Amino acid sequence: MIQENCWTFPKEIPLEEVPQYSSRFEKIEKPASLQFDLSQTEWIHSSFIGFLIYAKHSISSHGGKLYIIPSPSVQRILHLMNLNDYLLH
């Protein structure tokens, strides 16, 4: 479910869904803050990690802040990829 400043993601995010999120992200006016709720997400495709990095960079370059609420599974993946500090802080 995607609301204006809070996007809630499903239990699994396969490759086929990532372009949909990218397309929607490109169409929005970059807000001062945006929240990605991944608290119920247990599995993500690696291309979604690329989307997270892109979204963080894009919002930051406009002076905004991306807040990511990770599930333990997502947090573990980001930690293994050494992305916790960049994406979660």
Could you report the per-residue pLDDT of 22-56, keeping only the tens digit for each? 999 999 887 789 999 999 999 999 999 999 999 99
Within-domain flag for 19: no
Within-domain flag for 48: yes
d(CA 22, CA 15): 12
Within-domain flag for 74: yes
d(CA 84, CA 89): 7
Residues 6+ apart with CB under 8 A from 54: 22, 25
pLDDT at 31: 77
Tally of structural domains, the chain: 1
Give the domain range for residue 77. Answer: 1-6+33-88
Within-domain flag for 83: yes
The answer for 82, left when phi > 0, alpha when psi is -120 to 50, beta otherwise, is left
| Percent of the chain with pLDDT strictly greater than 70 | 96
pLDDT at 1: 55
Within-domain flag for 56: yes
Give this prediction's pTM: 0.92
